Chains A and B, each alone.
Chain A
Amino acid sequence: MARILLIEDDSSIAEGIILGLKSHGMMVDWFSDAKQGEMALQEDMFDAVLLDLTLPKGDGMTVLQNWRAKHIDTPVLIITARDAIANRVAGLNAGADDYLVKPFALDEVIARLQALMRRSQGRSQPEIRYGEVAYQPNTQQVTYQGQVVELTIKEVAILEQMLTHPKQIHSRASLEDKLYGWQQDIESNAIEVHIHHLRKKLGNDFILTKRGIGYYLNPAHSRL
C-alpha cells in the first residue's frame, strides 16, 4: 500500500485529500507546518510527497531544497496557489517532480501521484485492474475474467479513459473529445454504440449510465 506524505496547512483541503487518497487505497500522513513536514521525511519512508508551498514556519520551496540537499529522492508533487510561470519553473528547478495549481480535481491529484510513483519505481505502464477487467496499456490487451476480449480501437480508448479515471462520471462530450479530437465530426450516437458493445463484452453492469450526465464504472465491481 502506497504511503503518502502530505504537507498542507489548510485543514479542509488536507482532509479532502486524505479522504480521496484513502478511497484509492493510499495511506496518508499529514503535517501542517514546514518544520514538522521536513522532519517527517526520511529516506524511503514514503512513496511520494504532496507539498504545499505557502506554509507556517517556513516555505515549501525551502523544505524541498533541504530534502534534495540531503539527497532524499522521494518524488514530490507541489500543490500550490502560486500559478505564475516563474513559480512553476522555480518549483521544478528546485527538484519537484510535478506541479499542480489549486484548485485541482481530486482525480488529477491521484492520477499524477500514481504516475510519479510508477515512474520512481521504474514502471511506466502498469496493468490497470478494475474488478474482473484487466488492461495492459503497452499492448492494449483487455482481459475479462482471465479471458482475452477482442475490442475495437475506439472501444479500447473509451475503456482506457474510464479505467484511468475510475471514480468519475464521463460525459458523452468528454469521451467524444478523447476519441475524435477537434477536427472530426461524428455521428451523434457513436459513443452510445461503443458503450453498448463494451457492455456486451465486459458484462452488462460493468459500465453504468447516470442519465443526462454520463457514464461511469460500477463501483460495486471495484471491490471484487
Chain B
Amino acid sequence: MKSIQQRLLTSLLIGLPLLWVLTSGFIAWRLWHEIKEMNDTQITQVARYLIGVAPKEDDNKNDYEKDDSKSKKKRPAKIYNLNSKYLSGDLGNAKDDYMGFAIWNKDGRLLMADENGQSFAFLPDQHGFLEESDSAYQRLNPFSKRWRLFYVHDDHDSKHKGRVIAVGQNLDSRQEMIVSAMTVQVLPMLIGLLAFIGLVIWLIRRGFMPLTQISAELAQRQPQDDSPITADVPKEIQPLVTALNVLFVKVAETLAREQRFTADASHELRSPLAALKLQADLLQQQLLQLSDIEDDNQLFYHAQKISNGIERATHLVDQLLILAKIEPQQQLPPEQLEKPDWLILTDIVLSDVNRLGREKHIQLKRSVICDNPADILPILINPILFKLLIRNLLDNAIRYCPDGSLIELQLDTNAISVVDNGLGVEPEQLARLSERFYRPAGQSQLGSGLGLSIVNRIAELHGLTLIFANRLPPDIGFITSVILKK
C-alpha cells in the first residue's frame, strides 16, 4: 500500500512538469506565430518603401557606376551594404545578413540590390511570399542560407511598369530571434519550476512529519506502555491520536490484569503442588526408614510414581507460566539484554540436563563450528530466556532419543543447533511441532507439548527463526536450529 505522502509526491512531481511543458509549449507556439507575423509585416513594409524609393531605370545617373561609359545598357547594378558610405553613425547591433533586397527591371536586369539581395533569383511570375512548396523556394534555399522571400511587381507607375522587387529575410536570423526570445521566457520558468518542486517536496515532508513521528513512536512502543503520544500533531489527526491514547491505556490495563492473573495463577497452582511434593518427600523418607521390610519395593515404587506425577504437573505449570509471560512481549527490554559468553552459558545448560542424559546413557557433546569462538551468534540475548531455549531443545532431544544416543550442541556464526542421531520425526509432523500442546501420538515420555512453543517464542524475541529437519541420509536423526533471520 502506498503512503499518502508518496502518492501526493508522485502525482505532483508528474503533474507539475507536465503542466509546465504544456504552458511553455503554448507560449512558444504563440511566440513563434507572433514573431512570424511581425517579421512578415516588416518584409512587406520594406517592399513598400522600396517601391517608393527605388531608382528609375534611366535617371539618377550619378548613382550608377560610371567607369564603363560606352554602353549604358550594360551598366552594372548598384550594390549596398551596411558599411557603405550611405550609412553613417552608430549602427547599434545591426547585422548585415539579416535582410536583403533586390530590384530588377521587367527584363530581369538587376537595377539595385544589397549584398544579400544579389543572390536572389529573378522570378517574373512570383507574387507575394514564396511558399515552401514552390520549386523556386527549393532552388533559392540551398543548405545553409535559407531565406523567406517576398516578391512584388511595381505596376502602378506607368513609367517603370514591370519592375520586380524582392525582399527577403534570413530564416536563420529569424530562428535565432525566436530561440533567444523563448530562452528568455523559458529559462526563468524552468528555474522556477525546479524551485517549486523543491518547495513542494519540502512542504509535504514537513506536513507529514507529525505522522512519521507518530509511526516511529508506535513502532518502538511496548504493549504495557500507556503513556500518551507526545508528538505535536495537526488538528486533523488529533482525534486519531486521542483514540490511540485511549487504546493504549486499555491495552496496558488488559496486560496488567493478565499479568496479575498469571502471578495469582502461579501462586494458586504452585502452592498445592508444593504441599503435595513435601508430602511425597516425607513419604519416601519414611519408607526408607522401613528398609528392613522385605516387600517395601512396591510401596516405594508408588511413592516414586506420585513424585513423578507432581514433577510432571510442576513442569507443565512452569511452562504455561513462562509462555504466559513471554507471549505478550513484542521485544525484549534492552536493559535485560547482554552479550553472552556462549561457552559458559552452554556449559551451564549442558550441566543442567546432563543428569537426564545420564539416566538414558545419552552422551552430550558440544562443538564450535566456526573457527573462532568469539564469532558464535553475535547477538544480544536475555541469558535466562536463552538458557531456557537451549535447555528445552536439549531436553526434547534427550526425551525423544533412544538410550545410548549421541546429542550434539553445535554453535555456529549464525545458528545454534541441536543434532541427534535418534529416530527423527515423521515428515508430516514436522510442521506441527511448535504448536502448543502438540505432541506426536504414542509418546511414553513426560512432557507438556509446550516446550517448542516456548522455544519458538524466545527465538522470535531474539530475532531468530526456529527450524526443524531430519538429517539427510546416510545420517539418521533430527536437527533443531535457531537461525539468525536474514
Contacts and interface: CB of A to CB of B under 8 A. Distances in A.
B300 interface: yes
B358 A176 contact: yes
Interface residues of A, number: 44
Describe B's contact surface by its main secondary structure: helix
A203 to B, nearest CB: 15
Interface string B325-357: 100000000000000000000010011011111
Contacts of B273: 102-103
A153 interface: no
A47 B276 CA distance: 27
Nearest to B346: A182
Contacts of A172: 358
Interface stretch (B166-174, B249-257, B278-286, B427-435): B278-286
B358 A19 contact: no
A105 interface: yes
Interface stretch (B20-28, B90-98, B263-271, B440-448): B263-271
Interface string A1-45: 000000000101100110110010000000000000000000000
Interface residues of B, number: 45
B354 A20 contact: no
A12 B275 contact: yes
Contact of A106 (B266, B272, B281): B281
Contact of B364 (A17, A83, A182, A210): A182
Contact of A12 (B279, B300, B361, B384): B279
B355 A177 contact: yes
Interface string B282-315: 1011001101100001001000100000100010
Most chain B CB atoms below 10 A, which of A10, A188, A208? A10
A106 B286 CA distance: 13
Interface string A122-153: 00000000000000000000000000000000
A185 B281 contact: no
A169 B384 contact: no
Contacts of A177: 351, 354-355, 358
B151 to A, nearest CB: 105
B248 to A, nearest CB: 22
A71 to B, nearest CB: 30
Contacts of A219: 288-289, 291
B403 to A, nearest CB: 11
B274 interface: yes
B363 interface: yes
B274 A102 contact: yes
B263 A103 contact: no
Interface of B: 263, 266-279, 281-282, 284-285, 288-289, 291-292, 297, 300, 304, 310, 314, 318, 321, 325, 347, 350-351, 353-359, 361, 363-364, 384
28 contacts: A12-B275, A16-B275, A16-B278, A16-B279, A16-B281, A16-B282, A20-B282, A20-B285, A82-B267, A83-B266, A83-B321, A103-B276, A103-B277, A104-B277, A105-B281, A169-B288, A173-B359, A174-B355, A174-B358, A181-B354, A182-B350, A182-B354, A183-B364, A188-B361, A213-B300, A219-B289, A219-B291, A220-B292
Given A16-B278, A16-B282, A219-B291, 12 more contacts: A10-B274, A10-B275, A16-B275, A16-B281, A83-B266, A102-B274, A103-B274, A105-B277, A169-B288, A174-B358, A176-B358, A210-B300
